[in-house]
Amino acid sequence: INVAGMPIHIHGARFMELGNQVELGCHSRICAVSKFGESQTFTPQLILGNHVVVQTLCHIGCIDKVTIGDYTTMGARVYITDHTHGTTDLADLLVPPRKRKLFSRGPVKIGKHVHIGENSCIMPGVSIGDYSVIGANSVVTRDIPAFSIAVGSPAKVIRQYSQDEVQ
């Protein structure tokens, strides 16, 4: 791990696999949560491939599985999570957020050679295909195919390269 400034926060390191030459920017938070509150336990898997760059003030939270492929980079203040505090049911909304149970909406898989722009959020249950670009300030709420450029909130694909263009 190459730490580009201090402090950084790593929680649950035993549930992480970090590849070669991973770079973590200062004030980054990388969390694999195995216990929450009195009753919830998890077996998270947080995998960062080789040469992954996590810039300043990024937060990756995991209770299920988050995988980030080789050579992926993210700008400052990117948020990636595979879970939420509670559901959208009224009963959950009546509970203070900090006391709601954690709920996984599915793993997050980010392919190789992906660039995620500053201030973007990658939400639970999302896959981003290899060689894609997520524009700054985007909120990714659904899958993004490989070789795509996606922007906005919610993020929408504005360009996808065909197999003929790629080869």
Query: Which residue of the set 59, 85, 113, 115 is catalytic?
Result: 85
Coil/strand/helix, residue 131 = coil
Cβ(15)–Cβ(45) below 8 Å? yes
113 catalytic? Reply is no
Cβ(29)–Cβ(59) below 8 Å? yes
CA end-to-end distance (rounded Å), the chain: 33
For residue 125, which phi and psi values (nearest 5 degrees)?
80, 15
Residues annotated as part of the active site: 85
